[in-house]
Amino acid sequence: MTDQHKENNTTHFGFRTVDKNKKADMVADIFDSVSAKYDLMNDLMSFGIHRLWKRFTIESSAVRPGQKILDLAGGTGDFTAKFSRMAGEKGEVILADINSSMLMIGREKIRNQGRINNIHYVQANAESLPFCDNYFDCITFAFGLRNVTEKEKALSSILRVLKPGGRLLVLEFSAPVFPWLRKIYDVYSFHVLPKMGKIVAQDEQSYRYLAESIRMHPDQDTLKLMMMNAGFEQVTYSNLTGGIVALHRGFKF
């Protein structure tokens, strides 16, 4: 086997190099481990700021009554619950996640809120979405793209199921734009965050992977180019909290 062939069959899992065929299962193990404390850890890790990132994303979605929305890597359903109200009775919202543990928690959380009429739950891989062509008006992909093995395949799959005129919103950790913030963020990510995971979620290793996966994810301009290469148009991004997180927008025409 040539070195090039070997390279094509491997990918990164945090800072480790692993077989591409194994990454999805390894990511699944991470989320099986953290799913029960996922919402609590989000609040603690971001000091609650993740709620502002999500609010900005929802405001950028321009979702209207009667539309079809896909909340991809929807996890515990924060976006789905909001979109359910925005789409109304004639709309449709699908919470999709590759991880069954996260999907189950999201479904129970939303049902406890009493929002079930226009919501469906689908276990799905972003690289090969099980939906019809030109189906969704809006797709959100929040904090999930960095865990995907073949990001280009996922973006192409998303483009296929979007309607002409539909939009994709990718909310993801990114690269801080200020050197001083980058230094603080590195200390927090690699020293504070894993310890927090150990204390709260009894899982230090999963939160060490989280920090590593963020560093391995494409930066703002690289992701913008990837979306354009996949066929999205009018691709822009907004840096949030100094670039710790970025919201990328792209349209299908």
Annotated binding site: 76, 97, 125-126
Backbone angles phi, psi at 151, to 5 degrees: -65, -35
Cβ atoms of residues 186 and 214 within 8 Å: no
Virtual torsion, Cα 111, 113, 117, 118, nearest 10 deg: -100
Q: What's the token pair of residue 135? A: 């189906």
Q: Which contacts qualify for 76-80: CB closer than 8 Å, 24 or more apart? A: 76/38, 76/39, 76/102, 76/105, 76/106, 76/109, 77/106, 77/107, 77/109, 77/110, 78/54, 79/54, 79/140, 79/142, 80/106, 80/110, 80/119
Q: What's the token pair of residue 245? A: 């997180």
The binding site for S-adenosyl-L-methionine comprises 76, 97, 125-126
Cβ atoms of residues 159 and 186 within 8 Å: no
- Of 131, 183, 187, 190, whose CA–CA distance to 158 is shortest? 131
What CA–CA distance (Å, rounded) separates 72 from 154? 11
